[in-house]
Structure 1
C-alpha cells in the first residue's frame, strides 16, 4: 500500500492513469481506467485507456473508486468545544455554546476547526458546508477565521460557509438586521433557525430579503423539534415563492415532519417538491437531542427520510456537530452517518444505494457543486480509493483503507 500511495501521489503536478478501477454502475461496479490531468481534473473515465498515454500509470486493479464525500451541514466554529450541557437538550446546547462563544479566541476557533477538517478529509470528505454563528456573542469571528483557513487549505478542501444568523432570548432582531449585509459579504449562503426566534415572521423576512439582495441561497435549521402544533414550513415556503428562491433553499433537520399527521406531511411535501426545496437529515443530533422528555417509546427524532425520498424530495445526510455540547461524539466519517441514516430512517435493504447518494451526489447538487463533481470527464479529481466491491459494500461493511485525492492531489 505504501508503493500505491507513492505512485498515486507522484509529483502532484503530472498526469496519472489509474488502471483497473472499479467505478459504481447500475449493476454494481464496472472496471474502468481514470485519467487525471496535471491540473487536477479528470480527462477520461473509460475501459482500457491506452497504456501509451503520456502519464504515470498506477495499477489499482480491484480497488473501488468513488467521488469524494460531501458534508453539506457542519458547525466548524463549534466543533471540539467542551462546555457542559447537563440537560442533553437542544436549548441546553445552545446556551452552553453561547457561554463559551463570549470568550473564545480566534486561535482556539482555528485550531478546533482545522483539526476537524483534517479528520473529515482523512475519512474521504472532500467538501464541507459549515454553518457559522453570527450574533452578539460571536460577532463575525467565526466567519473571518474560517475564511482564513479556506485560503490556507486552498485546493485541498472545498469549504462553504453559511452566515448562521443566530437569535438568542432577549436579543431583539435589530442587531441581526443591521449586521446581516456584512455577514453576507463573508458567506456563501444565509441561514438561521426560525423556530427559536421571538418573531419568526420578521426573522425570516430579514434572512430571505438579504439572501435575495446578495444573490445567495438560503440554508435553514428547520423546525428542529417534535411539536406538531408549531410549524413554520408554510412561512418558509411562502417566502421562497415571494423572493423567487425556488431551487435555492435547503432545510436542515425538519424533525417535526415525523410528528405531524400524514395529510399535513403530504401537503408540505407537495410544496417542497413544487419549489425544489432540499432537506438534510442530521441523524447524530436528532438521535441525541430529541425526545428526552418522553418516558415511553421516545421518538427517533429524524425527519420522514423514507417518505421524502419516495416523494422525490432530494434528501442528504450530514455530520452536523462534532464533539461539542450538541453532539459529544463524532468522527467526521460520512460513511458512519450514511449507516446511521439508513438504520434510523426505516430504509429497506434495497435502499443502501440511497444512503450512499445522500453523502455524495445529492449534497453536491444541493450545495451547487454538481457541475464539477463526480467521476466523469471535466470533473475535479476528488475521489476516494478503497478496498470494497461496490458502494453497497462500502456503506454496509466499510473499508479498511482509504486513499483520498482532492483536485488530483493525495491528501490522505
Structure 2
C-alpha cells in the first residue's frame, strides 16, 4: 500500500528505512534519526537522512523508538499450569511441591504448547529476549530442557531465548542424581542455575553447579536466598565460589529477598561484595509479593530485595516476570511494562525514577544475559524495536502506549491500532506506520 510515495509496511525480503523517528539512545537521551534495517534483520545505519537504493520507506514521524524489552527471568516449562497445580498454602514450598507432582506426567508436547503461547504473548507486548530457567530433576527429567531447546531454535528468527539448566533439589532427591546429570543438561543450556537454600547440602550443591559452569564455560544464575530468614543467608558461600571458579562478572543472583530482612550493616557488606565481584541481581516482584511473608502476624513484608538501595548504589539490577499463571504466580500476561510498574511501586522507587525502571528491563538485563553487540539501538544489532506513540520513556513506563508496533529481528510481528486519548496534551502526534 502506498501513501505519498511511502510504503506503510515493509515488504518481506527487502531492506527498509524507518524515517523520522525519535530514537531512545539511552534512558536519558532521545534524538531524531532514521534507521536502516537490512535484509538480515539487523540495524545497518542510524542517522539523519539515511537512505539506501531500493529500500522501502516507512514513515514513523514523531514516533518514539525504543529497544525491545528483555525479560531476564522466566520459567517457561511451568507457565500456564495453574489449573492443574493447586497451591492452597500460597507458599514457595507449596508451589514447588505442586509443580513437582505435575511434572512427573507432563509430556514434552504439553510444555511446548504452553511455552509457545506465553512466548507469543510476551512478543506481542514488546519482549524480544527471554531467559528461562528450566527444571532438570528426578520429577521433570529432561522433558523441559529438550522441549525448550527445540523452541529456542524454531523461534530464533523472532525471539532470543536463553535457557538455564535449573538443577532443582527436592527433599529426598539425592545430589548424586543431579551431579550425574548436570553435564548433559548444561550441554543443552546457555546458563547453569539452581536454588541453594532448599538443598539438603547447599555447599556441596553449589560446588556441583559452579564446577559444571567452569567446565562448560557457561555463566551462573542462582535463585539465591528466596526467603526472609536473616539467620541463614548463603552470600558468603556464593562469593567464595565465584572467586574460586573465576566467575566474576558472569554470575547473576535472582530474588535475594533476604537482603530486606538483614540488618543494614550486614546488607551493606553483601552489597559491597556484589559490586566488587561485578555480580548482577534480578528482582522478581510478582513472585515475591505473592509467596513471601504469609506467616507474618502483623504487617506482612513486601518480600522483595532492597531494590531502591541496590539501584542507587550502582548494582546492576534488572526486573523480570518470573512465573506466569502457575502455582508460583497465578497471574501474568507476559507484559514487562506491567512488571516495571510493580517494581517501581513495590520496590519503593520514586516517580522520578521511571527511567531507571526502563533500564531495568532493557540495557541492564541485556548486559546480565550477555547479549552484547546484538542488542540495542546501535548499528549491527538485531532490529528488535518498539515503535510507539509515547512522548518519552517516562510516559512509556508509566502508562504504556496507545499505538505500538513490535519489530523482532527486523520483521514487524505485532501492531496495535491507535486509540486516541482525549485530553492527553503530552502525547506526540502519531505518524503513519
TM-score (norm 1): 0.97
Q: How much has 1:177 moved relative to structure 2?
A: 0.4
Q: How much has 1:15 moved relative to structure 2?
A: 1.1
CA distance in 1, matches of 2:266, 2:335: 34
Counterparts in 2 of 1:145 and 1:9: CA distance versus 1, 3 Å: farther
Q: How much has 1:382 moved relative to structure 2?
A: 0.6
CA distance in 2, matches of 1:405, 1:240: 37
The list of structure 1 runs, each at least 4 consecutive aligned residues, that deviate by more than 4 angstroms after superposition, is: 6-9, 25-28
CA distance in 1, matches of 2:153, 2:280: 29
Asked if structure 1 preserves the Cα contact closer than 8 Å seen for 2:17 and 2:35, the reply is: yes
Counterparts in 2 of 1:17 and 1:84: CA distance versus 1, 3 Å: same
Q: How does 1:355-374 map to 2 (within 5 A)?
A: 355-374=357-376
The equivalent of 1:45 in structure 2 is 46
Q: How much has 1:124 moved relative to structure 2?
A: 0.5
Q: Which of 217, 223, 226 is the equivalent residue of 1:224? A: 226
CA distance in 1, matches of 2:343, 2:251: 22
CA-to-aligned-CA distance 1:232-280 (integer Å, 9 cap, x gap)? 0110111000100000000100000000011001110111111110000
CA distance in 2, matches of 1:151, 1:28: 35
Asked if structure 2 preserves the Cα contact closer than 8 Å seen for 1:17 and 1:56, the reply is: yes
CA distance in 2, matches of 1:29, 1:352: 15
The equivalent of 1:16 in structure 2 is 16
The equivalent of 2:269 in structure 1 is 267
The equivalent of 2:325 in structure 1 is 323
Q: How much has 1:8 moved relative to structure 2?
A: 5.9
The equivalent of 1:385 in structure 2 is 387
Structure 2: where are the runs of 5+ without partners?
A: 415-433
CA distance in 2, matches of 1:341, 1:398: 15
Asked if structure 2 preserves the Cα contact closer than 8 Å seen for 1:281 and 1:315, the reply is: yes
Asked if structure 2 preserves the Cα contact closer than 8 Å seen for 1:22 and 1:390, the reply is: no
Q: How much has 1:295 moved relative to structure 2?
A: 2.4
Give the 3-state SS of the residue equivalent to 2:157 in structure 1: helix
CA-to-aligned-CA distance 1:19-48 (integer Å, 9 cap, x gap)? 111112566532211111111111122123
Q: How much has 1:139 moved relative to structure 2?
A: 0.6
Structure 1: where are the runs of 5+ without partners?
A: none
CA distance in 1, matches of 2:34, 2:22: 9
Give the 3-state SS of the residue equivalent to 1:169 in structure 2: coil
Asked if structure 1 preserves the Cα contact closer than 8 Å seen for 2:112 and 2:147, the reply is: yes
Give the 3-state SS of the residue equivalent to 1:154 in structure 2: coil
The equivalent of 2:31 in structure 1 is 30
Give the 3-state SS of the residue equivalent to 1:324 in structure 2: coil
Moved more, 23-32 or 336-345: 23-32
Query: Is the counterpart of residue 126 in structure 1 residue 128 in structure 2?
Result: yes
Q: How does 1:72-111 map to 2 (within 5 A)?
A: 72-81=72-81, 82=83, 83-111=85-113
Task: Give the number of equivalent residue pairs.
Answer: 410
State the superposition RMSD in angstroms. 1.7
The equivalent of 2:140 in structure 1 is 138
Q: How does 1:259-338 map to 2 (within 5 A)?
A: 259-338=261-340
Give the 3-state SS of the residue equivalent to 1:155 in structure 2: coil
CA distance in 1, matches of 2:28, 2:410: 27
Asked if structure 1 preserves the Cα contact closer than 8 Å seen for 2:8 and 2:59, the reply is: no
Give the 3-state SS of the residue equivalent to 1:363 in structure 2: helix
